[in-house]
A = this chain, B = another copy of it.
Amino acid sequence: MRVFSTRGYRAGSVQNIAAEAGISLSGLLHHFPSKEELLAEILAYRDEEAETYVGSGDDVRAESLAGLIELVAHNQRVPGLVELFCVLSAEATDPEHPAHDFVVERFARVRTAIAAAFRDAEVRGLLADGVDPDGAAREAVAVMDGLQLQWILEGRTFDMAARLRSHLARTVRISQLDR
């Protein structure tokens, strides 16, 4: 994570990773046969973690929006992962990037889940007037990604979770969703 997040996925090498981990290149390749495989493991690891806060599939409720805030609070404690995802998401906009399909699919999945949470809030009368659940989901994802970029560039000097909460509080009755 440190190598990919500081050098970028493309520029970071398995040699760098072996050196940072203090093992031989052949030792690293024994566990992870390729760089793509290392990346896939990191991506899958983080998504599993995210689902413990937000749920997935039929588990998604309006409460998942409060879960997003908890997830961001958690992310603030693992800045290396935040940096990796920030750089990787941008690098993977290139259709040739090995994680392109994964990242495109992941953004669609996250947005769909958050839209479902907003729709649940709508049904339960917790959504502000005139808010479109799909648009609100797109915006919430944008705010999270954009705040991450600022947070890294500014040396982690503000509270991303508090800022996301203040964003969500304008579209949904967030205080009724805290767990």
Contacts and interface: CB of A to CB of B under 8 A. Distances in A.
A39 interface: no
Q: How many copies does the complex hold?
A: 2
Interface residues of A, number: 43
Contact of A153 (B107, B139, B150, B167): B107
Nearest to A171: B170
B166 A135 contact: yes
A89 B151 CA distance: 12
A26 interface: no
A107 B154 contact: yes
Contacts of A89: 90, 149, 153
Nearest to A144: B146
A145 interface: yes
A100 to B, nearest CB: 8
Nearest to A95: B6
Contacts of A158: 138
Contact of A87 (B90, B147, B153): B90
A153 B94 contact: no
A142 B138 contact: no
Interface string A114-154: 00000000000000100010010011011111110110111
A11 interface: yes
Given A93-B87, A94-B7, A154-B107, A145 B138 contact: no
The 4 closest A-B pairs by CB, nearest first: A142-B146, A90-B90, A146-B146, A145-B146
Given A87-B90, A138-B150, A142-B150, 16 more contacts: A83-B93, A86-B93, A87-B93, A90-B90, A90-B91, A92-B153, A93-B152, A93-B153, A128-B170, A132-B166, A135-B163, A135-B166, A139-B163, A143-B146, A144-B146, A145-B145
